[in-house]
Structure 1
Amino acid sequence: MLTKNAGYWIEKLGLQKHPEGGYYKETYRSDEEIAHENLPKRFSGRRNFSTAIYFLLVGTEFSALHRIKSDELWHFYAGSSLTIHVVEQSGNYRPIKLGENLDEGEAFQAVVKAGDWFSATVNNPQSYSLVGCTVAPGFDFNDFELGKREELIKRYPQHQSLIEKMTRV
């Protein structure tokens, strides 16, 4: 049997580089849409009901701090557990451990609320983490904001160390 490493998943699932770091592939986009006038004002147009992706981080790679305008449900699939680093809009830091070791506080699924800043890291830097992300209303790159280090440090100085590690600009 072939060992399932990060390269295996990248090839088998047809993953490509993601702007925030790691690899992804959209696996679902609902055919139906929510009309713009039926969405909260933060949305700039209509959105699909829901979208889903595979997302993979390898070793010391990280998903840079970013936020979106919808709730995002994360699902654990394979590899090492990972930590989702959430800075809530209130400024509270909330780490979420996603993985299969429930006795150690990991979960198979977890939600990041709309508008919260978040990033992710692989807990075992010698491994990878394969997860899925489901977004509702569906993901649109118009709703995606990559965190800027200086702005985030001004807003959340208590998290300067995390922000410096989890941003690229």
Structure 2
Amino acid sequence: MNNAEAIIEKLKLQSHPEGGYFKEVYRSDDVIKAEALPEAFKTERNYSTSIYFLLTSENFSAFHKINQEEIWHFYDGSPLLLYMISPSGELSEIKIGRDLDKNEKPQFVVPRNYWFAAKVIQPDHFSFVGCTVAPGFDFEDFTLAERNNLTTEFPQHDKIIAEFTR
């Protein structure tokens, strides 16, 4: 049976700025020129990228957003709970896991420009997932939420924002 420490070690995962651990496992060789991309992208992007991402129950993935859709794929461990705030301020949540009878989704797409955060559902456990992004991810596309700014923008969600920002 897998455990978090073994996965981190065997796959050489590193700490991620949002929380948890990650490793890029795919970056397409081909690129899309900046002028062919929407205005949000200032430089060229690879067609697609994917990472491994591991989160433990002692940590959380802090609210952040990117310029692209992000597809989450569940692999192992506890299901996780993903929170999203749309650009218009609607809060939603989704369980990512493999128990279809509990309405968990083994794959889920986070829309672009949504603020999102995640936590492991089971105490003393981990969630191991993959994330795929197209056009490919670049840290230029990543914005980590600042608690005061996000609370000012969405005061109706102050409690969840406080729980999932640092």
> Structure 2 length as normaliser, TM-score?
0.98
Matched, 1:120 2:118: yes
Offset at residue 74 of structure 1 (A): 0.2
Structure 1 vs Structure 2: percent identity of aligned residues?
Answer: 52
Q: What is aligned with 2:15?
A: 17
Q: What is aligned with 2:165?
A: 167
For 1:83-113, what per-residue CA distance to the aligned partner results, in whole angstroms no more than 9, with x for missing partners?
1111111111110110011111101000111
For 1:104-130, what per-residue CA distance to the aligned partner results, in whole angstroms no more than 9, with x for missing partners?
110100011110000110001211000
AA in 1 matched with 2:93? P
Alpha-carbon RMSD across the aligned residues, in angstroms, is 0.6
CA distance in 2, matches of 1:84, 1:100: 14
Which one of 84, 92, 95 corresponds to residue 93 of structure 2? 95
CA distance in 2, matches of 1:140, 1:10: 22
- SS for the counterpart of 1:154 is helix
CA distance in 1, matches of 2:123, 2:32: 40
AA in 2 matched with 1:122? V
Offset at residue 142 of structure 1 (A): 0.4
Q: What is aligned with 1:140?
A: 138
- SS for the counterpart of 1:159 is helix
Gaps of 5+ in 2: none
Offset at residue 167 of structure 1 (A): 0.3
Q: Is contact 1:85-1:93 (8 Å) kept?
A: yes
User: Structure 1 residue runs of 4+, over 2 Å off?
Assistant: none
AA in 1 matched with 2:154? Y
AA in 2 matched with 1:142? E
Which one of 121, 126, 129 corresponds to residue 127 of structure 2? 129
Gaps of 5+ in 1: none
CA distance in 2, matches of 1:125, 1:40: 41
Q: Is contact 1:28-1:52 (8 Å) kept?
A: yes
Offset at residue 12 of structure 1 (A): 1.1
AA in 1 matched with 2:48? S
Offset at residue 60 of structure 1 (A): 2.6
AA in 2 matched with 1:124? Q
Offset at residue 4 of structure 1 (A): 1.2
- SS for the counterpart of 2:2 is coil
Q: Is contact 1:60-1:121 (8 Å) kept?
A: no
Which one of 22, 28, 36 corresponds to residue 26 of structure 2? 28
CA distance in 2, matches of 1:78, 1:27: 17
